[in-house]
A and B are shown apart, each in its own frame.
Chain A
Amino acid sequence: GAGVSQSPSNKVTEKGKDVELRCDPISGHTALYWYRQSLGQGLEFLIYFQGNSAPDKSGLPSDRFSAERTGGSVSTLTIQRTQQEDSAVYLCASSLGTSVNTQYFGPGTRLTVL
């Protein structure tokens, strides 16, 4: 079956612009996660959705970051007024449930802020 998909695969933007990153989880997976992978920081957890419930936003790096999940499926991560330090690979993962289930990762979106 289809895995986790993310779009776009690459995004180059100018500092100060807004960007939207999209994640399509595996069908039937209720849990969805966003992570960021940057050279100096390794892999960093950003936010988690369980179904349609309101997420815990405390892991988001700043208030310029927001995420939503519509209909318990597709999710978008929005970064407003991008900064150069936002440049990273943004990875999405999904799982059947929560703690006990394997997380399956998408290929990521490479964001470059000029």
Chain B
Amino acid sequence: KQEVTQIPAALSVPEGENLVLNCSFTDSAIYNLQWFRQDPGKGLTSLLLIQSSQREQTSGRLNASLDKSSGRSTLYIAASQPGDSATYLCAVIGGGGGADGLTFGKGTHLIIQP
């Protein structure tokens, strides 16, 4: 059974710092990996999707990498801003494709101090 772990569980940094969120998964037979953010009381917003054949994806100040063989992904946030404060979730979809749905980590709760 696929398991996804996110480290750290919580992180608080001053505004302007660059930071890295980590995600690991136990079964490397994945189709893709997605990073989401969740604001309190809200649904999930997709940030980046990396296909299993890709190594990284970038969107603005966000860069996500994928090392499928080692079961790891990182989300790099450059020049952090208070608006980046949220819970960041990593999720993978497994070898069964859509029938498996996404398997989520428990998230990293990020606070950016003004």
Which of A45, A95, A99 is the one whose CB lies under 8 Å from B103?
A45
CB of A42 within 8 A of CB of B102, answer: no
Chain A: which residue is nearest B30 at the CB level? A99
Kindly specify which of B18-26, B38-46, B75-83 makes contact with the partner chain: B38-46
**A residues less than 8 Å from B46 (CB atoms):** 102-105
CB of A48 within 8 A of CB of B99, answer: yes
CB of B44 within 8 A of CB of A99, answer: no
Q: Is A72 an interface residue (CB 8 A)?
A: no
Instruction: Sample 26 A-B pairs with CB under 8 A, ordered by A number.
Output: A4-B43, A31-B98, A33-B98, A33-B102, A35-B102, A43-B89, A43-B104, A45-B100, A46-B101, A48-B99, A48-B101, A93-B102, A97-B98, A98-B98, A99-B31, A99-B97, A100-B31, A100-B32, A103-B34, A103-B46, A103-B102, A105-B36, A105-B45, A105-B46, A106-B43, A107-B43
- Find the residue from B32, B46, B49, B99 having the highest chain A CB count within 10 A: B99
In whole angstroms, how far apart are the Cα atoms of A48 and B102 in the complex? 10
Given A42-B107, A103-B34, the answer on whether A98 and B101 have CB atoms closer than 8 Å is: no
CB distance from B55 to the nearest CB of A (A): 16
CB of A98 within 8 A of CB of B106, answer: no
Q: Is B51 an interface residue (CB 8 A)?
A: yes
**A residues less than 8 Å from B36 (CB atoms):** 105
CB of B51 within 8 A of CB of A45, answer: no
